[in-house]
Chain A
Amino acid sequence: MNWTAIAAIYRFEMARFFRTLLQSFLSPVLSTSLYFVVFGAAIGSRIDQVEGISYGAFIVPGLVMLAVITQSISNGSFGIYFPKFIGTIYELLSAPINFLEIVLGYVGAAATKALFIGVVILLTSTLFVDLSIAHPLAMVAFLVLTCISFALLGFIIGIWAGNFEQLQLVPLLIVTPLVFLGGSFYSILMLPPIWQKITLLNPVVYLISGFRWSFFGTADLPVGYSLLAIAAFTCLCLGVIWWIFRTGWRIRS
């Protein structure tokens, strides 16, 4: 394992993040505050409680997941797409490193950035609601695993994308709807029975449910299902990336 190379990639990617630190933090803090104003104050005042939890607190795990998933994908995809776009990928391909090392460097950095944002949002939310975390270790584990698995998905999108439009396509058309319909702002038990069944096809439901369990000790679905879902998703992404590097798809002619 070429740890020096992994560290070099990781540091180089993190440097990009720190160059734009203010934007990186301001934007999620602002959007989270807006969500709290709109959903927490405006709508929350009419909903009062969900599953015995105040609505403002209930949406916190969903909001964190929403930001973390979006950030992981965008960081993961941009990190590898940008070298492709500007041509610096030649250096990665000609370096004495294998696919696993490239992935560890890029996905590690993308996941770290998303984790930062997740923590910032969590801290921001404490300005609006009283929050207690029932299972802190499980909460951190869910957060980290989500960051990693969606950064892997982002990496795949970055390799696949041929232009900036395609880079936005999957997050906009697939991921955002899945996250919004994954119970970020509601309990799936609030849905009509048929939709409760359909929504189980959405993998994000399991993530948000598990993450919410780590906060409140209750969830829509058994926590084991959530762990299984995220493990399966991570394995799927790793498998696809392994295939990409084995065949050189879209990166090595």
Chain B
Amino acid sequence: MAPILSIRDLRKTYDDGFQALKGVTLDIEHGEILALLGPNGAGKTTLISTICGITTPSGGTVTVDGNDIVTDFRAARALIGLVPQEVALEPFEKVLNTVRFSRGLFGRPRDDARIESILRKLSLWDKRNSATKALSGGMKRRVLIAKALAHDPRILFLDEPTAGVDVELRKDMWNIVAELKADGVTIILTTHYIEEAEAIADRIGVITNGELLLVEDKDTLMARLGKKRIEVQLAEPVDAVPTALAAHDLTLANGGDTLVYTYDIHGERTGITQLLNDVAGAGLTLRDVETRQSSLEDIFVDLVQEERA
């Protein structure tokens, strides 16, 4: 089956010369959930905005179910729903009317039953007659999703759906995404949070500086990302890793006064207890123990280096 979304060498250079996208190529399959991970300014929102028609591409092509987003923009856009990063709603309008408006804007005839089912699914039906300004932040985000779904899109873009929302709402959002996937909607979401990608995505793309570094199956990537480091500082430096500790695959750092141990946080056993016992057994005195998980930025840097190696 041909991909539902096909991006080829997509480029975007803004008027001030800033290159936000430097030739992104990506295929997205029907019904999958793709999470785009990347730091601020990586180009995630520009990528989404360009596909959706908010930003004009400087080069490359995008087709949505075979329809070019420029030459056949009506057919392409009709298939797409967008939930923007910022909460932007007409403040004085009722929830029901604002969702109806979205359906009409996409050229779909009025269908009250369909709108009711969307609002019910998003727990908004009770609030249908409230002005959007009276809603909580979480409810406003739900309204944005309802608006994006009002015309029954086959692809849904969620631009940082959980940025700045509390844990409970984040979980709610993940459940909504899972239900949409069950309905056969293809979902592309951007996020800063590895755990979010881990919780809901099928595939993960890593984007930084306008380039897509890699797109991988979630399980493969999480195995690479889910590493943590423990740094054991010794009272006295050593010349080499003592043979009694050889089984732990340690490296020496800081001129021999730090032993570095890397472990998998997803593993059943981390091996930390055994390591500390063996360090004591080898007659070494500890000065400090520090654990450190790579930040997303570190992971990106590692990934870039690995990719280029």
Contacts and interface: CB of A to CB of B under 8 A. Distances in A.
Contact of A248 (B56, B73, B147): B56
B102 A91 contact: yes
Contacts of A97: 74, 105, 107
B91 interface: yes
B100 to A, nearest CB: 8
A88 B104 contact: no
A49 interface: no
Contacts of B147: 91
Contacts of B54: 90, 93-94, 252-253
A95 to B, nearest CB: 5
Interface string A1-17: 01011011101100110
B97 A12 contact: yes
Given A90-B82, A252-B55, A95 B93 contact: no
Given A15-B93, A253-B55, A96 B88 contact: no
Contact of B105 (A15, A19, A87, A92): A92
A159 to B, nearest CB: 15
A194 interface: no
A170 B75 CA distance: 38
A252 B69 CA distance: 15
B56 A253 contact: yes
A158 to B, nearest CB: 15
Nearest to B15: A253
Contacts of B106: 5, 95-96
A87 B132 CA distance: 14
A212 to B, nearest CB: 38
A173 interface: no
Interface in B69-93: 73-78, 80, 82, 84, 86, 88-93
A2 B104 CA distance: 9
B50 to A, nearest CB: 10
A21 interface: no
A86 interface: yes
Which of A4, A83, A92 counts the most chain B CB atoms within 10 A? A4
A89 to B, nearest CB: 8
Nearest to B77: A96
A2 B151 CA distance: 14
B92 A86 contact: no
A88 B148 CA distance: 12
Given A86-B88, A87-B84, A95 B56 contact: no
- For the residues of A in contact with B, the DSSP-based class is helix
A7 B108 CA distance: 11
Contacts of A95: 77, 105-106
Contacts of B104: 4-5, 7-9, 11
A238 B75 CA distance: 26
Contacts of A19: 92
Interface in A71-98: 82-83, 86-88, 90-97
Given A90-B54, A94-B77, A248-B56, A9 B92 contact: no
Interface string B31-57: 000000000000000000000111110
Contacts of A4: 104, 107-109
A2 B56 contact: no
Nearest to A82: B90
Given A9-B105, A95-B105, A253-B14, A88 B77 contact: no
B193 interface: no
Contacts of A86: 88-91
A88 B105 contact: no
B84 A90 contact: yes
A90 B49 CA distance: 9
A95 B148 CA distance: 10
A94 B91 contact: no
Nearest to A92: B105
A8 B105 contact: yes
B101 interface: yes
Contact of A96 (B15, B55, B78, B90): B78
The 3 closest A-B pairs by CB, nearest first: A8-B104, A87-B88, A96-B74
Interface of A: 2, 4-5, 7-9, 11-12, 15-16, 19, 82-83, 86-88, 90-97, 248, 252-253
19 contacts: A4-B109, A11-B104, A12-B90, A12-B93, A12-B101, A15-B97, A16-B92, A83-B90, A90-B82, A90-B88, A94-B52, A95-B77, A95-B106, A96-B76, A248-B56, A252-B54, A252-B55, A252-B56, A253-B54
Interface of B: 14-15, 52-56, 73-78, 80, 82, 84, 86, 88-93, 97, 100-109, 147
